[in-house]
Amino acid sequence: MRVSAYRLGHRFGDGHWLFRGLTADFLPGHVYALTGPSGSGKSTLLSLLAGWEAPLEGSVKRIGDGRVAWVFQNPHGVPNRTALDHVALPGLARGEEPARADADARLLLERFGLARVAGRPFSALSGGEAQRLMLARGIACEPALLLVDEPTAQLDLATAREVNDSLARISAEDTIVVVATHDERTRDACTDIVDLRKYQVAPSRDAGP
């Protein structure tokens, strides 16, 4: 899949424009950081790229097929299921044999520094472990487009560093990864940057499209 945004602009109702005139291509094998101050439309842009919301101006074209996966700011898991269960489930859902799904899941857990907690229930994981687990599960879904919303917003500096280290390793040949973040360290862990400050419009120009 390739995702292209052309002269994208969005606002809600008669409110101010979050951004206008955004043109960018999002390609597999890249990890894009969406940056900008609070209220600049980072999470909104994720929704537009996924096709879950239509832009008020411009267009988003998704060329090719594939799944879309989303990693939310607050990790959500099944409290009593193990870390391994969470990452193996997408493989089982695709029809993989349990042994193969578990083996693939263990490789992903190792990639994200979670091999030692494979047998722990989700409820026993730290905040950083839970967030890294959601990243691993996102990749296990084999998405064409993986959206990650503020992955370090609720974490202390040391834990955020662990998550950012994982982001630096998340690029996959067939996956576009887009990360909305206000964290400079998260930004630096990505391969490309889309700064929404470049597409903000002064209030005096907000009279209409």
**pLDDT in tens for each of the 209 residues of the chain?**
999 999 999 999 888 999 999 999 999 999 999 999 988 999 999 999 999 999 999 999 999 989 999 998 888 899 999 999 999 999 999 999 999 999 999 999 998 889 999 999 999 999 889 999 999 999 899 999 999 998 888 788 888 888 888 887 777 778 999 999 999 989 998 999 999 999 988 765 444 44
Q: SS3 letters for the chain?
A: CEEEEEEEEECCCCCCCCEEEEEEEECCCCEEEEECCCCCCHHHHHHHHHCCCCCCEEEEEEECCCCEEEECCCCCCCCCCEHHHHHHHHHHHCCCCHHHHHHHHHHHHHHCCCHHHCCCEHHHCCHHHHHHHHHHHHHHCCCCEEEEECCCCCCCHHHHHHHHHHHCCCCECCEEEEEECCCHHHHHHCCEEEEHHHHCCCHHHCCCC
Rama region for 202: left / alpha / beta (φ>0; ψ in -120 to 50; rest): beta
CATH architecture of structural domain 1-67+143-209 = 3-Layer(aba) Sandwich (3.40)
What residue segments make up the domains of the chain, in order of their start? 1-67+143-209, 73-140
Residue with tokens 């969005």: 10
pLDDT score, position 203: 62
Contact between 137 and 86 (Cβ < 8 Å): yes
